[in-house]
Amino acid sequence: MKLAVTLAALVMAALVLPFVLPRGDAPADQGYLPWRVEVLGNGRSRVFGLTLPTSTLAEARRLHGGDLSLGLIREAGGELSLEAYQPSVRLGFVTGKLILTLAASADELTAMSRRAADSEATRSGARRLSLASADVRSAEHLRIVGISFIPSVDLDRQVIVDRFGEPDQRIEQTGGLVHYLYPARGLDLLIDEGGRELLQYVAPADFARLTAPLAAGERVEPVAQ
């Protein structure tokens, strides 16, 4: 019994250690780590080797492998979005789930939904539609306008501040959800007390796209610098 507990503790320490090590103690070759956001000119940024909002799905496959699965997401309210999903990816020495949001007009998304072969329910209550073969091929050339990353370990506030720095703003929502906002880097880091954290990246010029859906009237805390 003691051996099993010890092994479990060692495994957990190995997963969390990359986040909690002081920045200077991290390996020299950090690769595409979540806290490494390169701010470019003209309101763009580079995350995980991908430039927002100009890199394409084909570029993402070359950088991160071909296991990205395409799907058209229909929310309960009928909203459509096109996503590429990779359930397990290693970014530098950090693992997690990677989701890429692709640029497509409302008319294009509607046409794709009509050509979709089938669909399945997701845990969130949305439907995931399988694209027709022609739409899968054409999606390779679509631009990536958003990146979401769900790390495989839980992150607490101290780890987040150590790696990402103090946020410009915090927004608290019901259910124990807290958004740490970094507009200059186009990052919304969502802390969920009851689940995994979610890192959402857009080009800094498009940051309002992340904050607009946040419910009005929630408690907003400017962070003293």
Q: Find, among 158, 154, 166, the residue nearest to 221 by Cα.
A: 166
One digit per residue, pLDDT tens: the chain, 225 residues?
A: 544 444 444 334 444 444 443 343 333 335 689 999 999 989 999 999 999 999 999 999 999 887 899 999 999 889 999 999 999 999 888 899 999 999 999 999 999 999 998 888 887 789 999 999 999 999 999 999 999 999 998 887 888 899 999 999 999 988 888 999 999 999 999 998 777 899 999 999 999 999 888 755 455 454 433
Residue 111's SS3 state is helix
* pTM of the predicted model as reported, rounded to 2 decimal places: 0.82
Residue 34: C-alpha distances to residues 62, 90, 223 (Å): 19, 11, 22
The residue type at 84: A
Whether the ω angle into residue 213 lies within 30 degrees of 0, i.e. cis, is: no
Q: How many whole angstroms separate alpha carbon 182 and alpha carbon 205?
A: 12
Q: Encoding tokens for residue 36?
A: 């490494």
